[in-house]
C-alpha cells in the first residue's frame, strides 16, 4: 500500500504534520512567529521561537520591507525563493496580495536571469530531476515524490528557455516558476504541483565548462534514444499519477511539436509554448480588433518567427477565423511567416512541415521590411527572439498603410523584445495597438499615456489547468484553448482598450482564472471528457476548490 497521503482538492494538505524543530523546518506547515501560545505548547516548539506572536499581517509587513530593500531584481528573486523554502503560506500570501509587483520577479523577465545563474544560486532542491541515466527506473524515481495526489506536472528539458536558448538543467527555474503561477493565479494547491527537469544533456559549452553546473556534463541525447526516454517518462507518469495534467514547457521546436502530436491523445497534456501562447495572443488580438474596429476575419497577420510558438499562434488564429465564418483556405491566406531566410513561400526548398500550411505562392521577400511592404499586413507579431527587429522603417511601413496597426513584440525576456513599447508608439505616431511578451511601463506620447499589456501565458494556463483538474478531464482539447481565449477577451474592459491595454488588468487575474476554469470545466463535461461531476453553479464550485494562502489552526 502506498504510504503517501493524498491532498484534498482544497484546504490544507493531509500529509502528516511534523512536530518540534522539524515543524519549523517544513515550509508546508511552518508559520514562523505566527504560531500561537497554545500551538507552541501543543506542538513542542515553545522556546524555539522568539516569545512575541506576530501574525500573518505583521509577517507580510516584514517581508515586504525586506523585499523592497533588495538592490536588484535578481536579489529580490533570491529572497522570494528563500521565503518559499521556509514558509510556503507566507510566500503565496505575498504573491497573491502583490501580484502585479511580484509577477516580473517570480517569472519573466527575472526568471530568465535566474535560470542563467541557477547553479550558482542553488540552495535547496525543489521538484524532481529525471535524467537520461535514470532509464529503466523512472517509475521508482517518480514514487520518491512524497505526495501521491499530484494534479499538475510542468516538465522541461531545458533546450529552449524563453529566448535564451539551451540552459540544460538550469532550466528547472521555469517549471518552478510556472507552478508558482498555477497557485498564485488560479489557486491550485502547491502540494499538488510537481516541477520536473528532464535532463538529457546540453549543447551549451559555457555550462559544460562550469564547475557549478548542476546537470549532466554531456552533449544532448537525440533521436530514438531521446524518444524512448520520453516514452518511459510518459508511461511512468500515467501509472504513478493517473489523473495528472502534464504541461510541456520550453522544448526546442522540433521536439515541442513532435511530443505534443505524439501524446495529446494519450493523456491529459498540452504544450504551453504552442497552445498557451496561442490562446493568450488570440485573446489580445481579439481585444486589438475591438480597438481597431476591424473584425478578425478582415485582418492580415504577419509573423516574424516560424518556430513552435509562432506556428502555434498562427494555427489558433486561423481556426478562430474559421469559427467566425471564413473558409479554411481563405483564413490561411491571411496568415504568413517570416523566418531567418525571409518570407516563407512555396518556392522554398526543404521547408519544415510545421511551416508548410503558411507557405504561399508569392515572390520571395528577403527580410521583414520587404515582407511588410509586399503583404501590407494589418497585424505584425514577433516571436523570433531577435531583439530590435521591429525597426523604425518596419513600424513606419505598418503605420503608413493602416490607421491602427496592431504590433505585438512577444519575445522575452525584455532583452529579446522585437521593439520596446516606446518605440512602437513613437514610430507609429501613437497609433499602434501594442502588446509585448515582457512587461513595459506606461508610455507618454503626444499628450496621451498608454498602458501596454504583457501578453503573459499566466492569463491562460492556470485557469485552464484549474478547470481541467477540477473536472478531472481526460484530455485537453483545442476547443478549450479557443474558449479560454474568448473568455479572456470578453473580460477586457473598454476603458482599458482606450488606454492601450489589450488584456484585463493583471491584478484581476484570479477572477479571470475563475471564469476560464468554469468555462473549461463545463466544456469538458459537454465533450464527455470529464470524469468528475461539474455542478450547475460552476463558478461557486471553482472558487471552493481554490487554495487560499492562510494559516491553519494547529491548536
- Provide the pLDDT for residue 555: 84
Predicted local distance difference test score (pLDDT) of residue 7:
38
What DSSP string describes 404-442? Answer: S-EEEE--SSGGG-SS-HHHHHHHTTT--EEEESS----
> pLDDT tens across 246-257, in order?
999 999 999 999
The residues annotated as belonging to the active site are: 107, 178
CA triple 45-38-31, angle to 5 deg: 55
* Confidence (pLDDT) at 96: 98
**Does pLDDT of 10 surpass 80?**
no
Tell me what the mean pLDDT of segment 256-262 comes to.
97
Q: Is the pTM of this model over 0.85?
A: yes
Tens of pLDDT, residue by residue over 494-546, are 999 999 999 999 999 999 999 999 999 999 999 999 999 999 999 999 999 99
**pLDDT digits over 81-91, tens only?**
999 999 999 99
Residue 14 binned pLDDT confidence (cut-offs 50, 70, 90): low
Q: What is the mean pLDDT of the chain?
A: 95
pLDDT (average), residues 126-144? 97
Residue 8 has pLDDT above 50, yes or no: no
CATH code: domain 72-267 is 3.40.50.10380
Fold match, 72-267 / 273-555: yes
Calculate mean pLDDT across residues 269-285.
97
Confidence check: pLDDT of 261 > 90: yes
- Give, in words, the CATH class of 273-555: alpha beta
What would the pLDDT profile of 347-397 be if each residue is shown by its tens digit?
A: 998 899 999 999 999 999 999 999 999 999 999 999 999 999 999 999 999
Contact 354, 257 (CB under 8 A): yes
Q: Domain residue spans in the chain?
A: 72-267, 273-555
| Residue count (the chain) | 555
HEC per residue, 54-110: CCHHHHHHHHHHHHHCCCCHHHHHHHHHHHHHHCHHHHHHHHHHCHHHHHHHHCCCH
Amino acid at each position: 500500500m502506498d504510504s503517501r497521503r493524498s491532498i484534498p482538492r482544497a484546504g490544507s494538505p493531509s500529509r502528516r504534520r511534523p512536530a518540534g524543530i522539524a515543524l519549523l523546518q517544513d515550509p508546508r506547515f511552518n508559520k514562523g512567529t505566527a504560531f500561537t501560545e497554545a500551538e507552541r505548547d501543543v506542538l513542542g516548539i515553545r522556546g524555539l521561537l522568539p516569545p512575541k506572536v506576530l501574525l500573518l499581517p505583521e509577517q507580510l509587513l516584514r517581508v515586504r520591507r525586506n523585499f523592497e530593500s533588495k538592490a536588484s531584481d535578481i536579489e529580490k528573486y533570491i529572497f522570494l525563493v528563500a521565503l518559499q523554502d521556509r514558509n510556503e503560506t507566507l510566500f503565496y500570501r505575498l504573491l497573491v496580495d502583490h501580484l502585479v509587483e511580484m509577477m516580473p520577479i517570480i517569472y519573466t523577465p527575472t526568471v530568465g536571469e535566474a535560470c542563467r545563474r541557477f547553479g550558482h544560486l542553488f540552495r535547496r532542491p525543489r521538484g524532481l530531476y529525471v535524467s537520461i541515466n535514470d532509464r529503466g527506473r523512472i517509475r521508482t524515481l517518480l514514487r520518491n515524490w512524497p505526495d501521491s495526489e499530484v494534479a499538475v506536472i510542468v516538465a522541461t528539458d531545458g533546450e529552449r528557455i524563453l529566448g535564451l536558448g539551451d540552459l540544460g538543467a538550469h532550466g528547472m527555474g521555469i517549471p518552478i516558476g510556472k507552478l508558482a503561477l498555477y497557485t498564485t493565479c488560479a489557486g491550485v494547491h502547491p502540494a499538488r504541483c510537481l516541477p520536473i527537469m528532464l535532463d538529457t544533456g546540453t549543447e551549451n559549452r559555457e555550462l559544460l565548462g562550469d564547475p557549478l553546473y548542476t546537470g549532466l556534463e554531456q552533449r544532448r541525447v537525440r533521436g530514438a534514444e531521446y524518444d524512448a526516454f520520453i516514452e518511459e517518462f510518459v508511461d511512468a507518469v500515467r501509472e504513478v499519477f493517473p489523473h495528472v495534467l502534464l504541461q510541456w514547457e520550453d522544448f526546442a521546436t522540433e521536439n515541442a511539436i513532435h511530443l505534443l502530436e505524439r501524446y495529446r491523445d494519450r493523456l491529459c497534456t498540452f504544450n504551453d509554448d504552442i497552445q498557451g501562447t496561442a490562446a493568450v495572443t488570440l485573446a489580445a488580438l481579439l481585444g486589438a480588433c475591438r480597438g481597431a474596429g476591424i473584425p478578425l476575419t478582415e485582418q492580415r497577420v504577419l509573423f516574424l518567427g516560424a518556430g513552435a510558438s509562432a506556428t502555434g499562434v498562427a494555427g489558433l488564429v486561423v481556426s478562430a477565423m474559421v469559427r467566425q465564418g471564413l473558409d479554411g483556405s481563405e483564413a490561411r491566406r491571411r496568415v504568413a511567416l517570416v523566418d531567418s531566410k525571409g518570407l516563407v513561400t512555396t518556392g522554398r526548398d526543404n521547408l519544415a512541415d510545421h511551416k508548410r500550411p503558411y507557405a504561399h505562392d508569392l515572390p520571395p521577400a528577403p527580410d521583414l521590411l520587404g515582407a511588410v511592404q509586399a503583404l501590407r499586413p494589418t497585424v505584425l507579431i514577433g516571436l523570433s527572439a531577435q531583439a530590435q527587429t521591429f525597426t523604425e522603417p518596419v513600424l513606419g511601413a505598418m503605420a503608413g498603410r493602416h490607421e491602427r496597426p496592431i504590433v505585438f513584440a512577444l519575445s522575452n525576456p525584455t532583452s529579446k523584445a522585437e521593439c520596446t513599447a516606446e518605440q512602437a508608439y513613437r514610430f507609429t505616431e501613437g497609433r499602434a495597438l501594442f502588446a509585448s511578451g515582457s512587461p513595459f511601463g506606461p508610455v507618454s506620447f503626444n499628450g496621451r499615456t498608454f498602458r501596454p499589456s504583457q501578453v503573459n501565458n499566466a492569463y491562460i494556463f492556470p485557469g485552464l489547468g484549474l478547470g481541467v483538474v477540477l473536472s478531472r478531464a481526460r484530455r485537453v482539447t483545442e476547443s478549450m484553448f479557443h474558449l479560454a481565449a474568448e473568455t479572456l477577451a470578453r473580460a477586457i474592459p473598454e476603458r482599458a482598450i482606450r488606454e492601450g491595454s489589450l488584456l484585463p488588468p493583471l491584478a484581476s487575474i484570479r477572477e479571470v482564472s475563475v471564469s476560464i476554469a468554469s468555462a473549461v470545466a463545463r466544456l469538458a463535461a459537454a465533450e464527455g471528457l470529464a470524469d468528475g461531476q461539474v455542478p450547475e453553479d460552476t463558478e461557486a464550485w471553482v472558487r471552493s476548490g481554490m487554495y487560499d494562502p492562510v494559516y491553519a489552526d494547529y491548536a
